[in-house]
Amino acid sequence: MTVVRTRDSGSRDNWDRLHEVLLDIKPGDTVTPGDLVGQTGLSPTMVQTVLEALTRAELFERTEDGVFVRRSLWGPPAA
């Protein structure tokens, strides 16, 4: 398999940092795309894409004001 890197894809260190940050988020914790951009150095587009994918996988919920809330895997959505 060939991995094609685009200008917007970020370095491995950026992706590793995103991975670490996401693993540290507990159910009920909140995060904004801007928070993750600042912590990882990834582009806003990449961060938004990741958060939307995690929302579709039901790991996060998005509030009306654009904040993402980590959901629990074993219970109802965090309030």
Class of domain 31-72: mainly alpha
Contacts of 45 (CB under 8 A, 6+ apart): 8
What is the reported pTM?
0.79
- The 10s digit of each residue's pLDDT in 22-75 is 999 999 999 999 999 999 999 999 999 999 999 999 999 999 999 999 999 876
| DSSP letters for 31-60 | E-HHHHHHHH---HHHHHHHHHHHHHTTSE
Q: What span, in angstroms and rounded, lies between the C-alpha atoms of 44 and 8?
A: 9
Of 73, 53, 69, give the one whose Cα is nearest residue 61: 69
User: What's the rounded mean pLDDT across residues 4-33?
Assistant: 84
The residues spanned by each domain of the chain are 31-72
